[in-house]
């Protein structure tokens, strides 16, 4: 089993739609969880950290389910500019190094 797995995608949604991504991780000892956004041929940029209680940042909501070892990202009212690849990241072992999922591609269409 891969350490971090994500929805295969791609997701094609119209503007204004709500879209959700899931990500599962295998290391039950992981403590830090993140969603990154990566545009084509660019470096990943931190979208948001994921906290146990769940957290929201504008149109973006992240949830963590430790029992089932998955995290999710919900994007409401999708914008064209949300088109990108979304990477789930989980810390390796006890340090700060990250394991990334393959990413889920999102295309928001007019």
Interaction site with other proteins (CB under 8 A): 4, 32, 41-46, 49, 87, 91-92, 95-103
Nearer to other proteins, 15 or 46 (CB): 46
Q: Please check whether residue 77 is in contact with residue 89, taking contact to mean a CB–CB distance below 8 angstroms.
A: no
Choice between 71 and 98, CB closer to other proteins: 98
Q: Coil, strand or helix: which one is 81?
A: helix
Minimum Å distance from CB 110 to other proteins?
25
Q: What is the dihedral sign for C-alpha 39, 43, 44, 46?
A: negative
Nearer to other proteins, 29 or 97 (CB): 97
The gap between the terminal CA atoms of the chain, to the nearest Å, is: 37
Minimum distance of other proteins from residue 47's CB (angstroms): 12
């Amino acid at each position: 089993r891969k350490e971090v797995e994500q929805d295969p995608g791609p997701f094609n949604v119209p503007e204004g739609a709500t879209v959700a991504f899931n990500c599962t991780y295998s290391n039950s000892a992981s403590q830090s969880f993140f969603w990154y956004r990566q545009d084509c041929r660019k470096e990943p940029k931190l979208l948001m950290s994921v906290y146990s209680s769940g957290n929201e940042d504008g149109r973006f909501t992240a949830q963590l389910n430790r029992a089932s070892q998955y995290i999710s990202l919900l994007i409401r009212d999708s914008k064209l500019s949300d088109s990108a690849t979304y990477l789930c990241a989980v810390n390796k072992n006890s340090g700060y190094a990250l394991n990334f999922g393959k990413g889920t591609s999102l295309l928001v269409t007019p």
